[in-house]
Amino acid sequence: MVCYGHIPNSSLNYAPNFLKLNMANSKQAIKRAKQNAETYKLRHAQRSMVRTAVKAVRTSIEANDPAIAKEMLNNAEKVLDSSASKKVIHKNAAARTKSRLSKAVKALS
């Protein structure tokens, strides 16, 4: 098994290169690098969920389907609020996105 600074490669599979190339020298730095890799994977997945939810709303708006757009907007608002509370995205960015999406959905009906 390949190791990067005493960190098993399995925990760094989806981490960016700057985390893989960290040659930590102390126990504290090794643990921190491992935590950063795990946090990166989690936050990356949560950001992806946000983008997917917003994209679903936008595609339903483009399809001119107000019923599905409202349903997708409710889902997107939940995802945006959840990610803002976990500080994956900034709370003002979440509010701005929700506002723009709801404005677009209201314009449909």
Res 3: pLDDT: 46
Q: Whole-model pTM?
A: 0.74
Say if CB 102 and CB 73 are below 8 A apart.
Answer: yes
51-86 per-position pLDDT tens digit? 999 999 999 999 999 999 999 999 999 999 999 999
pLDDT, averaged across the chain = 86
Say if CB 59 and CB 52 are below 8 A apart.
Answer: no
Res 8: pLDDT: 54
- Return d(Cα 109, Cα 60) in angstroms, integer: 13
Q: Please, what are the domains in the chain?
A: 3-108 (1.20.58.110)
* Between residues 24 and 33, the one the model is more confident about: 33
- Return d(Cα 7, Cα 15) in angstroms, integer: 12
Band the pLDDT of 2: cuts 50, 70, 90: very low
* Between residues 21 and 59, the one the model is more confident about: 59
